[in-house]
Each structure stands twice: as C-alpha cells, then as structure tokens.
Structure 1
Amino acid sequence: AVGVSKPYTYILGGEEDPLPQSGDYSIILNSKDEAVCVIQTTKTTVVPFDEVSKEHAYKEGEGDRSLAYWRDVHEDFFAEEFAETELEFNGQTSILCEEFKVVYRAIDVN
C-alpha cells in the first residue's frame, strides 16, 4: 500500500553506483523491466553483516521474520553473488540497510 515503510538490504563492495540517501526517490522495476512503483528512501544504515539488527530483519518481513532466518537467506544469497567476484564475503562485509516508503504504485502492468 502507498505509504508503507519497508526495509531492504544491499551488499556493499566495489559497486560504482552511489548509495541511496534519505529523501532519494527510486523507480522499482519488475522482471520485465516495467516500472511498478516509486519509493522514497527514509533511512539508511551501513553495518557489518553480523550486526544487522533483529528489527531490520523483522521489518523486511521474510520467512518467520527472525534474524536467524534473515541471516540464513541473505548469507546464501550474498555468498553466491560474491562467488562471481574477487571479493570475499564474511560477517564483517558492509551491508546497506535501507528503509523506504512507497509514494506511487503503478496500475497493474500485466
């Protein structure tokens, strides 16, 4: 729903794109590269992977919303992503935790 805050997590490491900042707007695309919504970043925090908070994991809303579930899923995902690079993923790898609100939702694009 428009106005709902939702966190998201990025992994940092050699990316060229600037990090989102509070107040930034982003267009979110679906798997067909169609715009589905516009979000506004409300909060960003950079922490080591091992220090992502249980609050962030809960807000992200995946699985049972626990930090253990979040870590299992994200560790597997990030390790896979890092396997394609020369960088090493570990518990001290910097993670960008982003919270945002949906400011515009497109009409069903399917």
Structure 2
Amino acid sequence: MKKKCGQPIFRKTRVGEHNVILRTNGEAVCVTKTTRVSVVPFMQVSAEHACKEGEGDRSLTYWRTVHAQAFADELAEIHMNFSEDMLVVCEEFQVVFLPIGR
C-alpha cells in the first residue's frame, strides 16, 4: 500500500487492465488481466470469493480470520484501525502470461 502524509493512496483497479506480479526480489512471476472488480464491506465478501482466492482451507471463516489480521497490521502502520464494515476491493483475474519455465 502506498502512503502519502500518513494516509493510504488507493489506485482504482479496472476490468481489462494488466498487472505484472512480482516476487519480493523484483522477479516477474506472471502477467494477469483483471476480469472483475467489486468493492464491498469486509463482512460482505462472499464465500465464493474466499474459495477462489484459494488460501488455507478456502473457507470464508479462514479468509476473514487471516485478512482481518493482515488488514489490522497494515492499518496499524498508518495509525488507523481495522473495522468489519470497512470497504475492501475484491479483484478477480486470469493469468495471461507465464515466463518460460513456470
């Protein structure tokens, strides 16, 4: 998350845009194309979205637990608090390019 004067800067994600996914060392992992974007309150993220994200046991309970903690940790860095009614961006994408050897 980028920050300016202690406040997060959000870039609007758009359907059809491409993103290069990088490792922490800057190495490209793949290129994705955004296919769907929705902005919903944290507690309205669907079980379908949680399953598609593919983390842990793919349940909504698992998703909420790990994301609540991750969001709380990130927000604490800028002296903000996590709230279950905060808006979150749910993005779906397809992988459109994998480097050779992946």
TM-score (norm 2): 0.87
Name 2:20's counterpart in structure 1. 27
Query: Structure 1: 5+ residue runs without aligned partners?
Result: 1-9
Aligned equivalent of 1:71, options 52, 64, 85: 64
Which residue number corresponds to residue 38 of structure 1? Answer: 31
Matches within 5 A, 1:60-99: 60-99=53-92
The residue matched to 1:15 in structure 2 has which SS?
strand
Displacement of 1:15: 3.4
Q: Is 2:9 aligned against 1:16?
A: yes
Identical residues among aligned pairs (%): 47
Deviation at 1:20, TM superposition (A): 1.3
Number of aligned residue pairs: give it: 97
AA in 1 matched with 2:67: H
1:98 and 1:78 map into 2 onto residues whose CA distance is 16
**1: distance between equivalents of 2:17 and 2:64?**
27
Equivalents in 2 of 1:104, 1:61: separation in Å? 20
Distance (Å, rounded) in 2 between the aligned partners of 1:36 and 1:99: 17
The 2-side partners of 1:65 and 1:52 are apart by 13
What residue number does 1:56 align with?
49
CA deviation vs aligned residue, 1:2-50 (integer Å, no higher than 9, x gap): xxxxxxxx9xxx5324221100001111121111111000000000111
SS at match of 2:33: strand
